[in-house]
Structure 1
Amino acid sequence: MSPPTLNLLARLQNEGVLTLDSSQQQAIAAHHTSLLASYVRDFAIDPTRRARRLSLGMRVASLLGALALAASVFFLFYQFWGYFPEVAQVSILITAALATCGLTNWLQQRDTTGYFSKLAALVAFTCFVLNLAMIGSLLNVAPTDKALLPWAALALLFAYSGDQRLLLVTGILCLIGFVAARVGTWGGIYWLHVGERPENFFPAAALLLALAAVGWHQPYPGFAATYRVFGLLTAFVPMLVLGHWGYGSYLDLPPDLIEGGYQVLGFITSGLAVYFGVRRDWPETVNTGTTFFIIFLYTKFFDWWWEVMPKYLFFLVLGLIALLVLLVLKRLRRSPGQATR
């Protein structure tokens, strides 16, 4: 009988909740052993602490190996690219992209652990990026933000087909870049200068938060949380910038008024993020909202008091504010509505 099963049965019997004879205990233990073996076989779970430690090492090795192989493919292309004629270059790019995509699909069907399929997926994504970028260079096509859309589509396809967080983040970043660049282009800005107007990123933030609410993330633990975190980051970072650089806004208002407005908006939205995170039991939303609320608060205190207050007193006030935030969050954590979740 496995130790967790034995401990649970012993506790139940000691407390008089359940009484089993030896044959029943053996039957339960055999059932748990068979069930655990099926989970290990079908879902590649880690039944022991040793297996969990080895899995963590395998995940790290898989990530580093994928990044190294992707970089190797990238530099291999650029190292020997000039030695091939144009027809061979196009053929190599197309073949490499198709071959690595096929290899990824083959591994996803056979690799239950996902380590090797994740590695192949990142290499396939790199080959696809090189395919579009270098074929465009061969044909003298001007760089365009529209390439970000197929890159995002392929990264998200690999992410959902193989439950891969790294490619999910990659796809989200490409999607943010595409939406922001499109909005900036519609506003008369060259797409590579999209950062000159931080407000270009707000539609991307709204899109990510909307995507986090759809139902197709349920089979993929953590995907909806990733969308929420990046949606909040895409909203809060521009607010933080515009709260101290009003000249970067599209609004035809005095810069001081714009900065003050975005500072207030930052406090309100970060507070709402904490509120909804607590209500919906979204810890990542609570953490992100709390972090930026404190950042907005500290930057405002810096504007008000850094020049007029002794430094020891300034940092003492910041420390007391941090303690106050901890007490508020502790009270929310112990509230009856959260205790039943």
Structure 2
Amino acid sequence: MKLSKRESRVVNNAIDTWLEEGVIDQEDHNKLKGSYDVATIDWSLIAKYSFWVAVLCIVLSVLSVLLDKWLIELIQNIFSAPDIAKSVFFAIVSAAFYLFGVRRKKQSPDKTFSNEAFFVLGIVSTAISIYFIGQVIETDSLSKLILLASIVYGLLGLWIPSLLVWVCSLFSLGTWFGFETYQWSDNGYFLAMSMPLRFVVFSAFLIALGMFAQTRFKSKEDFALTTRAFGLILFFLSLWVVSIFGNYADFAEWGDVSQFSLIHWSLLLLIASIAALYHGIKFDDELNRGFGLIFIFVNLYTRFIEYFWEGTHKALFFAVLAASFWLFGTRAEQIYRLGQKSRTEESPAE
């Protein structure tokens, strides 16, 4: 069995721990150590990027064939056809990519990257098909086409199933929300909220939806978890932007206020981060725990830069930053070593 260097370190530490705790003897330890080899090259990473390059080369090859005269005539015939014909053509092309990808996924489920590469091509073809649908119905509303794309990607993602297509659906939904509220906004405000603050509300809805689906639909737990992760990224990034710019849609207006007057948004970000960290620790939720911990530090360092950058000598400024990171690193190392020691002491008692 071939393992990457990272995987081998995890397996090696586990085998050594089992030997120390008496779970296995020296003979089993030697057998387990000899049951795998360390791969010097991360082939999974190479495979992933190779397929992305392959997709890019396919696109480039399509562009290069335009130099051939008969292909130019063929493409001219296709693109001189009615918009409905173009939409149907690209819909058939995208369906072919999806079906072929589904078939390969069933036959070779371990070939994740090559399977997903076909789904990427299907995603692009679907977007082109939806664009020509917009030409057919002669709509000037880009947001409606984006919403249609989000619905189509969502249904396809659940049917295939593919988390990549599902992420495209979530991304399209967020894009639609931004465009739609921008069209309805007055001087940059929609329901008295700036764009970042609107996305705080929108992402909170996605987080709630993901948590609800995670408990109710166990068969789609991966999709619910992906939805919640997407919502958490959008939520904390949007709230972080709000903590810097406040609920201002006009930069000139924001420039006239002191940064300290926006401290209540920073406190809101801190409360949200602590709440996520508490929930993650209490319910052993690694996702919430990670986001909560990260944005506690992001918030604190952002405030430090805002309040002390101008009035502090730069040598002192960076010295304080260095000391704080050194302190956190030292404490993290102590906590890690304490956990390793306690686990070793508990094993004989068991």
CA contact (8 A) 1:180 1:203 kept: no
* CA displacement at 1:16 relative to structure 2: 10
1:93 pairs, out of 90, 98, 107, with 90
* Distance change >3 Å, CA 321–CA 329, structure 1 → 2: same
Moved more, 205-214 or 84-93: 84-93
* CA displacement at 1:50 relative to structure 2: 4.6
* Distance change >3 Å, CA 118–CA 206, structure 1 → 2: same
Q: 1:209 maps to what in 2? A: 207
2:80 pairs, out of 84, 90, 98, with 84
Q: 2:245 maps to what in 1? A: 245
Q: 2:319 maps to what in 1? A: 316
Q: Structure 2: how far apart are the matches of 1:189 and 1:76?
A: 47
SS in 1 for 2:139: coil
* CA displacement at 1:130 relative to structure 2: 0.6
Q: 1:40 maps to what in 2? A: none
Q: 2:114 maps to what in 1? A: 116
Q: Structure 2: how far apart are the matches of 1:204 and 1:72?
A: 40
In the TM superposition, what whole-angstrom CA distance separates every residue of 1:22-75 from its partner, at most 9, and x where no partner exists? xxx9xxx9xxxxxx9xxxxxxxxxx86559943443233234334554677799
Asked whether 1:291 is paired with 2:280, we answer: no
Q: 2:54 maps to what in 1? A: 65
Asked whether 1:151 is paired with 2:149, we answer: yes
In the TM superposition, what whole-angstrom CA distance separates every residue of 1:68-125 from its partner, at most 9, and x where no partner exists? 5467779999x94685221643442333233333333333332322343322211111
Moved more, 127-136 or 83-92: 83-92
* CA displacement at 1:328 relative to structure 2: 5.9
SS in 2 for 1:248: coil
Q: 2:4 maps to what in 1? A: none
Pairing of 1:39-58 with structure 2 (within 5 A): 49-50=38-39, 53-58=42-47
* CA displacement at 1:261 relative to structure 2: 1.7
Q: Structure 2: how far apart are the matches of 1:162 and 1:49?
A: 34
Size of the aligned set, in residue pairs, is 302
Q: 1:274 maps to what in 2? A: 277
* CA displacement at 1:174 relative to structure 2: 1.6
User: 1:109 is matched by which residue type in structure 2?
Assistant: K
CA contact (8 A) 2:157 2:165 kept: yes
CA contact (8 A) 1:201 1:234 kept: yes
* Distance change >3 Å, CA 202–CA 73, structure 1 → 2: farther
* Distance change >3 Å, CA 220–CA 71, structure 1 → 2: farther
Q: Structure 1: how far apart are the matches of 2:328 and 2:119?
A: 42
CA contact (8 A) 2:273 2:293 kept: yes
Q: 1:32 maps to what in 2? A: none
* CA displacement at 1:225 relative to structure 2: 5.0
Contiguous gaps of at least 5 residues in structure 1: 30-35, 37-46
CA contact (8 A) 2:86 2:129 kept: no
The Cα RMSD (Å) is 4.6
* CA displacement at 1:170 relative to structure 2: 2.2
TM-score (structure 1 length as normaliser): 0.68
CA contact (8 A) 2:47 2:113 kept: yes
* Distance change >3 Å, CA 199–CA 157, structure 1 → 2: same
Q: 1:33 maps to what in 2? A: none
* CA displacement at 1:307 relative to structure 2: 2.0
Q: Structure 2: how far apart are the matches of 1:174 and 1:153?
A: 9
Q: Structure 2: how far apart are the matches of 1:16 and 1:104?
A: 44
User: 1:104 is matched by which residue type in structure 2?
Assistant: G
Moved more, 60-69 or 124-133: 60-69
Q: Structure 1: how far apart are the matches of 2:131 and 2:65?
A: 15
CA contact (8 A) 1:201 1:235 kept: yes
In the TM superposition, what whole-angstrom CA distance separates every residue of 1:248-272 from its partner, at most 9, and x where no partner exists? 269xx99658622211111221232
Higher normalized contact order (CA 8 Å, seq sep 6+, divided by chain length): 2
Q: Identity over the aligned pairs, expressed in percent?
A: 18
User: 2:125 is matched by which residue type in structure 1?
Assistant: C
* Distance change >3 Å, CA 90–CA 63, structure 1 → 2: closer
TM-score (structure 2 length as normaliser): 0.66
Contiguous gaps of at least 5 residues in structure 2: 1-10, 67-71
CA contact (8 A) 2:146 2:176 kept: yes
Pairing of 1:121-270 with structure 2 (within 5 A): 121-161=119-159, 164-185=162-183, 187-188=185-186, 197-213=195-211, 214-215=213-214, 225-246=225-246, 248=248, 259-270=262-273
User: 1:238 is matched by which residue type in structure 2?
Assistant: S
